[in-house]
Chains A and B, each alone.
Chain A
Amino acid sequence: AQTVTQSQPEMSVQEAETVTLSCTYDTSENNYYLFWYKQPPSRQMILVIRQEAYKQQNATENRFSVNFQKAAKSFSLKISDSQLGDTAMYFCAFGGGSNYKLTFGKGTLLTVNP
Protein backbone atom coordinates (compact mmCIF):
# COMPACT_ATOMS: atom_id res chain seq x y z
CA ALA A 1 0.00 0.00 0.00
CA GLN A 2 1.13 3.50 -0.73
CA THR A 3 1.65 6.14 1.94
CA VAL A 4 2.06 9.88 1.58
CA THR A 5 3.54 11.98 4.36
CA GLN A 6 3.41 15.74 4.71
CA SER A 7 5.39 16.64 7.80
CA GLN A 8 4.50 20.33 7.93
CA PRO A 9 0.93 20.85 9.21
CA GLU A 10 1.21 24.62 8.85
CA MET A 11 3.51 27.11 7.18
CA SER A 12 3.51 30.83 6.60
CA VAL A 13 5.33 33.08 4.15
CA GLN A 14 5.46 36.76 3.38
CA GLU A 15 3.96 37.98 0.18
CA ALA A 16 6.44 37.90 -2.75
CA GLU A 17 8.75 35.45 -0.98
CA THR A 18 9.42 31.81 -1.84
CA VAL A 19 8.20 28.83 0.17
CA THR A 20 8.76 25.08 -0.15
CA LEU A 21 6.28 22.45 1.00
CA SER A 22 7.59 18.96 1.69
CA CYS A 23 6.14 15.58 0.75
CA THR A 24 7.54 12.08 0.99
CA TYR A 25 5.93 8.86 -0.15
CA ASP A 26 6.45 5.16 -0.03
CA THR A 27 5.60 2.72 -2.80
CA SER A 28 6.75 -0.44 -4.50
CA GLU A 29 5.43 0.75 -7.85
CA ASN A 30 7.90 1.75 -10.54
CA ASN A 31 5.50 3.76 -12.69
CA TYR A 32 3.37 6.32 -10.90
CA TYR A 33 2.25 9.92 -10.79
CA LEU A 34 2.54 12.57 -8.12
CA PHE A 35 0.34 15.59 -7.70
CA TRP A 36 -0.06 18.73 -5.66
CA TYR A 37 -3.59 19.93 -5.09
CA LYS A 38 -4.65 23.23 -3.57
CA GLN A 39 -7.81 23.67 -1.50
CA PRO A 40 -8.60 27.30 -0.66
CA PRO A 41 -11.29 28.23 1.89
CA SER A 42 -13.87 27.84 -0.88
CA ARG A 43 -13.05 24.09 -0.54
CA GLN A 44 -12.68 23.59 -4.32
CA MET A 45 -9.82 21.16 -4.94
CA ILE A 46 -7.57 22.54 -7.67
CA LEU A 47 -4.82 20.60 -9.41
CA VAL A 48 -1.62 22.65 -9.14
CA ILE A 49 0.99 20.44 -10.76
CA ARG A 50 1.69 16.85 -11.71
CA GLN A 51 4.85 14.81 -12.15
CA GLU A 52 5.25 11.50 -13.96
CA ALA A 53 7.77 9.26 -12.19
CA TYR A 54 9.44 8.22 -15.43
CA LYS A 55 10.31 11.82 -16.28
CA GLN A 56 13.54 13.08 -14.78
CA GLN A 57 12.76 16.70 -15.51
CA ASN A 58 10.98 18.49 -12.70
CA ALA A 59 7.53 19.83 -13.60
CA THR A 60 6.92 23.57 -13.65
CA GLU A 61 3.70 25.57 -13.89
CA ASN A 62 4.29 29.32 -13.79
CA ARG A 63 5.22 30.16 -10.17
CA PHE A 64 4.91 26.54 -9.04
CA SER A 65 7.67 23.99 -9.46
CA VAL A 66 8.55 20.67 -7.92
CA ASN A 67 11.74 19.02 -6.77
CA PHE A 68 11.22 15.33 -7.53
CA GLN A 69 13.82 13.00 -6.03
CA LYS A 70 12.75 9.50 -7.05
CA ALA A 71 15.43 7.60 -5.16
CA ALA A 72 14.65 9.50 -1.99
CA LYS A 73 10.87 9.29 -2.66
CA SER A 74 10.57 13.00 -2.13
CA PHE A 75 8.30 15.43 -3.95
CA SER A 76 8.42 19.02 -2.72
CA LEU A 77 6.50 22.00 -4.06
CA LYS A 78 8.15 25.39 -4.44
CA ILE A 79 5.97 28.46 -4.72
CA SER A 80 7.81 31.55 -5.97
CA ASP A 81 6.65 35.13 -5.60
CA SER A 82 3.93 34.07 -3.16
CA GLN A 83 0.59 35.82 -3.50
CA LEU A 84 -2.24 36.29 -1.03
CA GLY A 85 -4.39 34.04 -3.20
CA ASP A 86 -1.97 31.18 -2.59
CA THR A 87 -3.33 30.91 0.96
CA ALA A 88 -4.84 27.43 1.06
CA MET A 89 -4.45 23.86 2.22
CA TYR A 90 -2.02 22.00 -0.04
CA PHE A 91 -2.30 18.25 -0.47
CA CYS A 92 0.31 15.96 -1.96
CA ALA A 93 -1.15 12.92 -3.73
CA PHE A 94 0.17 9.67 -5.16
CA GLY A 95 -1.36 7.74 -8.03
CA GLY A 96 -0.08 4.31 -9.03
CA GLY A 97 -1.12 0.69 -9.50
CA SER A 98 -4.01 -0.73 -11.47
CA ASN A 99 -6.93 0.84 -9.62
CA TYR A 100 -6.35 4.50 -10.57
CA LYS A 101 -6.95 5.69 -7.03
CA LEU A 102 -5.19 8.62 -5.43
CA THR A 103 -3.66 8.52 -1.96
CA PHE A 104 -3.53 11.90 -0.25
CA GLY A 105 -1.27 13.26 2.45
CA LYS A 106 -2.70 15.02 5.48
CA GLY A 107 -2.10 18.44 3.99
CA THR A 108 -0.13 21.59 4.77
CA LEU A 109 -1.96 24.81 5.58
CA LEU A 110 -0.09 27.64 3.90
CA THR A 111 -0.79 31.23 4.91
CA VAL A 112 0.60 34.08 2.83
CA ASN A 113 0.94 37.23 4.90
CA PRO A 114 0.80 40.75 3.44
Chain B
Amino acid sequence: SAVISQKPSRDICQRGTSLTIQCQVDSQVTMMFWYRQQPGQSLTLIATANQGSEATYESGFVIDKFPISRPNLTFSTLTVSNMSPEDSSIYLCSVDTPTGVSSYEQYFGPGTRLTVT
Protein backbone atom coordinates (compact mmCIF):
# COMPACT_ATOMS: atom_id res chain seq x y z
CA SER B 1 0.00 0.00 0.00
CA ALA B 2 0.98 3.66 -0.31
CA VAL B 3 1.34 6.35 2.35
CA ILE B 4 -0.65 9.41 1.39
CA SER B 5 -0.67 12.81 3.03
CA GLN B 6 -3.00 15.73 2.45
CA LYS B 7 -2.63 19.39 3.32
CA PRO B 8 -4.37 21.12 4.93
CA SER B 9 -6.16 18.64 7.17
CA ARG B 10 -8.94 21.16 7.73
CA ASP B 11 -9.74 24.75 6.93
CA ILE B 12 -12.46 27.31 7.42
CA CYS B 13 -12.83 29.64 4.47
CA GLN B 14 -15.00 32.57 3.51
CA ARG B 15 -17.36 32.34 0.59
CA GLY B 16 -15.98 33.60 -2.69
CA THR B 17 -12.41 32.56 -1.90
CA SER B 18 -10.43 29.56 -3.19
CA LEU B 19 -8.56 26.78 -1.43
CA THR B 20 -5.90 24.49 -2.86
CA ILE B 21 -5.57 21.02 -1.35
CA GLN B 22 -2.33 19.10 -1.79
CA CYS B 23 -1.95 15.33 -2.02
CA GLN B 24 1.48 13.71 -1.68
CA VAL B 25 2.24 10.00 -2.12
CA ASP B 26 5.36 8.19 -0.96
CA SER B 27 5.69 6.22 -4.20
CA GLN B 28 4.99 6.71 -7.87
CA VAL B 29 1.43 5.92 -8.89
CA THR B 30 -0.31 5.96 -12.23
CA MET B 31 -3.69 7.24 -11.23
CA MET B 32 -4.82 9.70 -8.58
CA PHE B 33 -8.43 10.43 -7.76
CA TRP B 34 -10.23 13.25 -5.99
CA TYR B 35 -13.47 12.62 -4.11
CA ARG B 36 -15.96 14.78 -2.26
CA GLN B 37 -17.80 13.48 0.78
CA GLN B 38 -20.61 15.71 1.92
CA PRO B 39 -21.70 15.47 5.57
CA GLY B 40 -23.16 12.04 6.33
CA GLN B 41 -22.89 10.95 2.70
CA SER B 42 -20.92 8.53 0.60
CA LEU B 43 -17.97 9.37 -1.63
CA THR B 44 -18.53 11.07 -4.96
CA LEU B 45 -15.73 11.07 -7.52
CA ILE B 46 -14.81 14.54 -8.73
CA ALA B 47 -12.09 13.66 -11.23
CA THR B 48 -9.29 11.32 -12.19
CA ALA B 49 -5.84 12.86 -12.52
CA ASN B 50 -3.16 11.22 -14.63
CA GLN B 51 0.31 12.65 -14.95
CA GLY B 52 0.91 14.36 -18.26
CA SER B 53 -2.71 14.71 -19.28
CA GLU B 54 -5.76 16.77 -18.43
CA ALA B 55 -7.88 15.53 -15.55
CA THR B 56 -11.06 13.67 -16.42
CA TYR B 57 -14.07 15.15 -14.64
CA GLU B 58 -17.25 13.36 -13.64
CA SER B 59 -20.69 14.60 -14.51
CA GLY B 60 -21.60 17.60 -12.40
CA PHE B 61 -18.01 18.73 -11.82
CA VAL B 62 -16.22 21.26 -14.03
CA ILE B 63 -12.63 22.36 -14.39
CA ASP B 64 -13.38 26.02 -13.68
CA LYS B 65 -14.74 25.13 -10.25
CA PHE B 66 -12.32 22.31 -9.41
CA PRO B 67 -9.04 22.80 -11.30
CA ILE B 68 -6.60 19.94 -10.77
CA SER B 69 -2.87 19.71 -11.33
CA ARG B 70 -0.76 16.55 -11.60
CA PRO B 71 2.82 17.69 -12.20
CA ASN B 72 4.46 14.34 -11.43
CA LEU B 73 3.76 10.77 -10.36
CA THR B 74 3.69 11.50 -6.61
CA PHE B 75 1.78 14.78 -6.29
CA SER B 76 -1.52 16.39 -7.17
CA THR B 77 -3.54 19.43 -6.15
CA LEU B 78 -7.26 20.16 -6.17
CA THR B 79 -8.48 23.74 -5.99
CA VAL B 80 -11.98 24.55 -4.84
CA SER B 81 -12.74 27.90 -6.48
CA ASN B 82 -15.19 30.66 -5.64
CA MET B 83 -16.42 28.70 -2.66
CA SER B 84 -19.96 28.69 -1.30
CA PRO B 85 -21.33 27.01 1.85
CA GLU B 86 -22.47 24.11 -0.37
CA ASP B 87 -18.81 23.26 -0.90
CA SER B 88 -18.42 22.38 2.78
CA SER B 89 -17.31 18.75 2.63
CA ILE B 90 -14.47 16.38 3.19
CA TYR B 91 -12.20 16.18 0.16
CA LEU B 92 -10.28 12.94 -0.24
CA CYS B 93 -7.38 12.05 -2.44
CA SER B 94 -6.78 8.44 -3.39
CA VAL B 95 -4.28 6.52 -5.48
CA ASP B 96 -4.24 3.18 -7.18
CA THR B 97 -1.75 0.49 -6.25
CA PRO B 98 1.83 1.65 -6.84
CA THR B 99 2.71 -1.31 -8.98
CA GLY B 100 2.36 0.22 -12.40
CA VAL B 101 -0.63 -1.99 -13.11
CA SER B 102 -3.94 -0.51 -12.04
CA SER B 103 -6.28 -2.94 -10.36
CA TYR B 104 -9.04 -0.72 -8.98
CA GLU B 105 -7.64 -1.08 -5.45
CA GLN B 106 -7.37 2.44 -4.09
CA TYR B 107 -5.70 3.86 -1.02
CA PHE B 108 -6.93 7.05 0.53
CA GLY B 109 -5.40 10.06 2.14
CA PRO B 110 -6.66 11.31 5.51
CA GLY B 111 -8.93 13.87 3.90
CA THR B 112 -9.34 17.63 4.13
CA ARG B 113 -12.34 18.93 6.05
CA LEU B 114 -13.48 22.18 4.46
CA THR B 115 -16.00 24.51 6.03
CA VAL B 116 -17.19 27.51 4.06
CA THR B 117 -18.83 30.35 5.97
Within 8 A of A (CB), among B28-75: 31, 33, 41-43, 45, 48, 56
CA distance A96 to B33 in the complex (A): 15
Main secondary structure of the interface of B (DSSP, over half): strand
B90 touches A95 (CB 8 A): no
B104 touches A43 (CB 8 A): no
Instruction: List chain B residues, Cβ under 8 A from A47.
Output: 1, 105-107
A102 touches B106 (CB 8 A): yes
A106 in contact (CB, < 8 A): yes
A43 touches B110 (CB 8 A): yes
B-side interface size class: 20 to 34
Best-buried of A37, A44, A91, A105 by chain B (most CB within 10 Å): A44
B108 touches A44 (CB 8 A): yes
B102 touches A45 (CB 8 A): no
Which residue of chain B has the shortest Cβ distance to A92 in the bound complex? B42
A-side residues, CB < 8 A to B, are 32-33, 35, 37, 42-47, 50, 91, 95-96, 99-102, 104-107
Instruction: List chain B residues, Cβ under 8 A from A32.
Output: 104
Q: Report if A105-B103 is in contact (Cβ < 8 Å); known contacts: A45-B92, A99-B48.
A: no
B-side residues, CB < 8 A to A, are 1, 31, 33, 41-43, 45, 48, 56, 90, 92, 94, 96, 102-108, 110-111, 113
Q: Report if A33-B33 is in contact (Cβ < 8 Å); known contacts: A43-B113, A45-B92.
A: no
Q: Report if A100-B96 is in contact (Cβ < 8 Å); known contacts: A33-B104, A95-B104.
A: yes
Q: Report if A33-B103 is in contact (Cβ < 8 Å); known contacts: A91-B42, A101-B45.
A: yes
**Residue of B43, B48, B102, B110 touching A104 (CB-CB under 8 A):** B43
Question: Smallest CB–CB gap between B50 and chain A, Å?
Answer: 10
B48 touches A101 (CB 8 A): yes
Instruction: List chain B residues, Cβ under 8 A from A42.
Output: 110
Given contact pairs A95-B103, A95-B105, enumerate 6 new A-B contacts (beta carbons under 8 Å): A45-B43, A45-B92, A99-B48, A99-B56, A100-B48, A104-B42
Instruction: List chain A residues, Cβ under 8 A from B45.
Output: 101-102
**Residue of B1, B33, B42, B56 touching A105 (CB-CB under 8 A):** B42
In the complex, the 7 A-B pairs of residues with the closest C-beta atoms, listed nearest first: A95-B104, A45-B108, A33-B104, A100-B102, A104-B43, A104-B42, A106-B42
